[in-house]
Structure 1
Amino acid sequence: MSATDWTVILAAVLAIAAVNWWFFVAGQSPAAAVVAESGGPAEVVITVDGGYSPAVVQVRKGERVRLVFDRKDTSSCSEEVVIPAFDVRQFLPSGERTVIEIQPTEAGRFPFTCGMSMLRGSIIVDG
């Protein structure tokens, strides 16, 4: 192989690494659920538009949490959210907000996805 071939291979590997970093690492800092002043459940709004934003939500064990999914996207992939650890499979109407209330009883990282498992997010429960 010539030096040009190696350069092309290296550029392709770097491009693949950059794409993977962008989709799976960038912007993954957790958003904390905001505790309601009235003593109600903590709440976080998750925008659904080609992905979840924020994609990572941080909550406390034992605390009631309202996840408000605000679906802007019209693709069929985003029409459902699945949170297996909390037995949630919920339809998300386009252009509307859908509230899902959970109360985690154990610490850990719990994934949520669209119905096709293409859009991904996580709930981090602190002990």
Structure 2
Amino acid sequence: MTTQQIIVTIAGLAAIAGIVWFFWLKKEEGVHAAVTSSGYQEATVLVKGGYNPPVIRVEHGRPVRLTFRREETNPCSEQVVFDAFSKHADLPEGQLVTVELMPDQPGEYPFTCGMGMLRGTLVVE
């Protein structure tokens, strides 16, 4: 093997490792929902090409209030679905929509758009 072939091979392996880390191994820390005086854990989620923040951390046994604001026209993001809680909500563009949940058990609960392409996670600790 020549020096150039070794360099190209090492660079290719490094690129593959970077892609694997970014798409499969990278863990988002997420944001902790703020506890309000009413006892709800609250967070606001911006819907624009995805969910921001994509990971929301809450405590189990306390009610959760998530407010979604959709700032795009993509029809995929017209709805948010929480399968584990049997809840969904329509998200009209530019409007605030609140979803209330009661997470009783610790775990990771995904939420998606109606087509399942946009993904977020509610981490219940």
- TM-score w.r.t. length of structure 2: 0.82
SS in 2 for 1:67: strand
Q: 1:77 to 1:7 in 2, by over 3 A?
A: farther
- Distance between the aligned counterparts of 1:76 and 1:6, measured in 2? 47
2:54 partner amino acid: A
1:59 aligned residue:
58
The letter of the residue matching 2:111 is: F
Superposed CA deviations along residues 26-65 of structure 1, whole A, max 9, x for unmatched, are 7x2211110113x331110010000000101100111011
Output one character per residue of 1:49-83: Cα deviation in whole Å (capped at 9) or x when no partner.
00000101100111011010111111001111111
Query: What is the aligned partner in structure 2 of residue 118 from structure 1?
Result: 117
Structure of greater Rg: 2
Change (3 A) 1:13 1:69: farther
Q: Residue 12 and residue 51 in structure 1: after superposition, are their counterparts in 2 closer, same or farther (change >3 A)?
A: farther
Alpha-carbon spacing, 1:92–1:20, altered in 2? closer, same or farther (3 Å) = farther
- 1:18 shift after superposition: 4.3
Give identity over the alignment, percent. 40
In the TM superposition, 1:25-40 aligns within 5 A as: 25=26, 28-37=28-37, 39-40=38-39
Cα 1:76–1:5 change in 2 (3 A) is farther
SS of the residue corresponding to residue 77 of structure 1 reads: helix
Distance in 1, Cα, partners of 2:113 & 2:12: 30
RMSD (Å) for aligned C-alpha atoms: 2.3
Residue matched to 2:90: 91
> How many residues get paired?
124
Contact 2:39–2:62 at 8 Å: present in 1 too? Answer: no
Q: Which amino acid aligns with 1:34?
A: A
* Structure 2 unaligned spans of 5+: none
CA distance in structure 2 between the partners assigned to 1:9 and 1:77 by the alignment: 40
TM-score (norm. length: structure 1): 0.81
